[in-house]
Chains A and B, each alone.
Chain A
Amino acid sequence: MIPFKYQEFYTHATFPYRHGIKNLRVFGTAMPSKTETVASFVEAAPPGEVSRPPLLSCRDAPDIKSLTYDDSQILQSLQPAFKKYNEEQFTTVKLPGSTETVIVSSFNELGDGRYFDSANQSSFEFDHTTQKASSVQPHTLDSQHAELIISLLESLSTHAAEHFPASSIGVYPTENDSAIALVIVANKYSPNNFWNGRWRSVYIFTPSSSTVAGSIKVDVHYYEDGNVRLLTEKPVQISGVDDRAQEIVKQIARVEKKYQEDLNKAFSNLSEGAFKGLRRQLPVTRQKVEWEKIGGYRLGQDIGGGRSR
């Protein structure tokens, strides 16, 4: 599959004038370092494409290699960016010998490149550049909320199965074991149709205050003969949540449903609002422009746009 190539579209772009730019427009006052620049590309990578997992991983980053003259030191210095990307995007990975995926996030990080999974009661080493897991070891969940976490895993898993055709979940103790993080990530990649999508939910339940705080984020990338991106973020705040797993997940389910309905409404609002207001489908006359008589429009109608107002 060879996707759309920009350059074909610009073969005829011959330019009228020959003077180059004197004042370089591109350099701001404070120029970031090469590493910072490339790291910003890594962190902003869209949801993964199957053929190039996830676009900028070290092993498979032809664009970055090319732009940085295949500077191996640059790729080495990008380690923190790959880590940040994987943890923020809730990258999922299959443990060796397992068919189920587990999540990589800041909530289940053990340090030294290791992460744990509460459902499997195991820990694993994660390579942020290849996105592969290795050296799995048993890991006992050490938390005062261990029992609640186990029930939450069950309730959240039921919820996820009911609403996400393909997703991974995680429940971890966080904030020095004073709270519990619930994470859902759903990916759908359709590179043959030039789109990929990701849904991320994170909810922090704090038993002492009976609150759930978190966010829902949606990221959709469409790239057939173009580049279109939907990015959303919805902060979540629920109070008065008692510490029963079913109750917590019920509240979460309610918030997610409401958000998805609001999001659907937002699409039609944008279509009927901003989009319609930018360009009409046809002029008020419901007829295409009569270009042969274009001068007549000026005489016949008072059209005075484009002037200073």
Chain B
Amino acid sequence: MADQFDSALDLLRRLNPAHTSKNLSAICSLIPAEEENLLASVDQPLSVRRCKKSGRDYLLCDYNRDGDSYRSPWSNEFDPPVEDAELSSERVRKMEVRANEAFDVYRELYYEGGTSSVYFWDLDDGFAGVVLLKKNSSSTAARGTSGAWDSIHVLEVVEGGRTSKYKLTSTVILNLGSSGEALGQLDLSGNMTRQVEQDLPVDGDEGHVVNVGKMVEDMELKMRNLLQEVYFGKAKDVVGDLRSIPALSESNRDKATHREMINSMSGMKV
């Protein structure tokens, strides 16, 4: 039922985002028929698995899952193996390999650590993909604070003649925490989603990786600024709106004095 699905998303948008996985499980137990849809639609922090063949880490999501197995972008193999696995076409896999190499560089340049994975698959009139980036920071490293960043960029590419249409939906899950004697407990967690569509000229399959790379890079820059604004600007402002450190009678008096001054100055001009 579509309205149950909508209700579930609506509810998840209001419940504590730090517990999305737990709440999602609970909702699925209420409406098991929507489970697959919900798991596919709700972004959760990514899990990491070690690729048995290459020894490299990769990220798990619904886009590299088949049944209970996950495909490694490094080996192109499912773990545990899937007998009748459907793999991407040779052409799309080739782009996927290139994109994984490119985003591995991107990850090192921006995240200086963490894990990245890119998955591409065929569509009738193009291809689709997901670019995943994850990093956790421990509390010892950063002033008694801890954090986790998960980027999930879902893209769809409709191939045309000289240009292709790129549709990108990006979610960043950012969970931060701090605790201490003076502060007590502080948890600042959440997720934000943004979408962008662009028609871009493409020069061969390498051009697709370049275009996707640029779009994801621009989107992450935009979202990082947005997160900074909401987490450290907005949230702090709301606390200040709830309670004022200076006495309100004083700040009201200051405002009145200020107003009087402006009035008398404008009076002088006239």
Secondary structure class of chain A's binding surface, majority of residues? mixed
Please judge, given known A-B contacts A63-B10, A67-B11, A298-B101, whether A231 and B16 are in contact too, CB under 8 Å.
yes
Residues of the B chain whose Cβ atoms lie less than 8 Å from the Cβ of A307: 55-57
Residues of B contacting A275 with CB < 8 Å? 147, 174, 176, 227-228, 231-232
| B214 contacts the other chain (CB 8 A) | yes
Question: Known contacts A13-B40, A232-B184, A298-B105: does B236 contact A280 (CB below 8 Å)?
Answer: no
**Closest CB in chain A relative to B60 CB, distance in Å:** 11
Interface string of A158-185 (1 = CB under 8 A from B): 0001111100000000000000000000
Q: Please provide the chain B residues from 183 to 204 with a CB less than 8 Å away from any CB of chain A in the complex.
A: 183-195
Residues of A contacting B243 in the complex (Cβ-Cβ under 8 angstroms): 163-164, 186, 199, 256, 260
* Most chain A CB atoms below 10 A, which of B66, B122, B154: B66
Whether B68 and A22, one on each chain, are in contact in the complex, defined by CB atoms closer than 8 angstroms, is yes
- State in angstroms the CA–CA spacing of A267 and B186 once bound together: 10
Which chain A residues lie closer than 8 Å to B268 at the CB level? none
Q: Mark B197-235, 1 if CB is under 8 A from A, else 0.
A: 000000000000110011001001100110110111011
Is A143 among interface residues, defined by CB-CB distance under 8 A? no
Contact, CB under 8 Å: A220 / B102: no
Given A266-B178, A283-B109, A260:B239 Cβ within 8 A:
yes
Cβ contacts under 8 Å, A261 to chain B: 245
Q: Are A26 and B25 in contact (CB under 8 A)?
A: yes
Instruction: Indicate whether A289 reaches chain B with its CB closer than 8 angstroms.
Output: yes
Judging by beta carbons under 8 Å apart, are A291 and B25 in contact?
no
Q: Evaluate contact between B109 and A9: CB separation under 8 angstroms.
A: no
Is A66 in contact with chain B by the CB < 8 A criterion? yes
Q: Count of A-B contacts with CB under 8 A?
A: 355
Point out the residues of chain A lying under 8 angstroms from B90, CB to CB: none
Once the chains are docked, how many angstroms separate the CA of A305 from the CA of B101? 11
Question: Across the interface, which residues of B come within 8 angstroms of A284, CB to CB?
Answer: 109
Q: Let me know if A120 is at the binding interface, CB within 8 A.
A: no
Q: Which residue of chain A lies nearest to B5 when distances are taken between CB atoms in the complex? A: A7
Docked CA distance A93–B122 (Å): 57
In the complex the two chains form, is B13's CB within 8 Å of A223's CB?
yes
State whether the Cβ of A274 lies closer than 8 Å to any Cβ in chain B.
yes
Whether, in the assembled complex, B15 has its beta carbon less than 8 Å from a beta carbon of chain A, the answer is: yes
CB distance from A143 to the nearest CB of B (A): 29
> Which of A36-44, A109-117, A146-154 has 4 or more CB atoms under 8 Å from chain B?
A36-44
A63-B11, A234-B184 given as contacts; is B232 within 8 A of A271 (CB)?
A: yes
Confirm or deny: B247 has a beta carbon within 8 angstroms of a beta carbon on chain A: yes
Q: A41, B11: Cβ atoms under 8 Å?
A: yes
* Chain A contacts for B231, CB-based, 8 A: 228, 270-271, 275
Q: Identify which of B3, B82, B176, B217 contacts A66 (C-beta below 8 A).
A: B3
> Is A26 within 8 A of B24, CB to CB?
yes
Interface: A279 (CB within 8 A): yes
The answer to whether B241 touches A188 (Cβ under 8 A) is yes
A 283-306 binary contact with B (CB < 8 Å = 1; else 0):
111001101101101100001111
Per-residue CB contact flags for chain A residues 1-38 toward chain B (1 = under 8 Å, else 0) read: 00011110110111111111111111110011010011
Complex Cα distance A99/B228, Å? 40
Q: Using A165-B241, A291-B214, A298-B105 as known contacts, say yes or no to A234 and B183 having CB atoms under 8 A apart.
A: yes
10 A-B pairs with the lowest CB-CB distances in the bound complex, closest first: A228-B190, A274-B147, A226-B192, A234-B184, A273-B142, A16-B121, A19-B67, A66-B7, A273-B143, A17-B66
User: Which B residues fall within an 8 A CB radius of A?
Assistant: 1, 3-19, 23-31, 35-36, 39-41, 50, 55-57, 62-68, 82, 85-86, 88, 101-102, 104-116, 119, 121-123, 128, 135, 137, 141-149, 154, 156, 167, 169, 174, 176-178, 182-195, 209-210, 213-214, 217, 220-221, 224-225, 227-228, 230-232, 234-236, 238-239, 241-245, 247-249
- Could you list which residues of chain A lie within 8 angstroms of chain B, going by C-beta atoms? 4-7, 9-10, 12-28, 31-32, 34, 37-38, 40-41, 44-46, 55, 62-64, 66-68, 161-165, 186-188, 195, 197-199, 215-216, 218, 220-223, 225-235, 256-264, 266-285, 288-289, 291-292, 294-295, 297-298, 303-308
Taking A68-B30, A164-B244, A188-B241 as given, write out 7 further A-B residue pairs in contact, using a Cβ cutoff of 8 Å, ordered by the A residue number. A13-B41, A66-B3, A67-B7, A197-B242, A259-B184, A264-B239, A303-B104
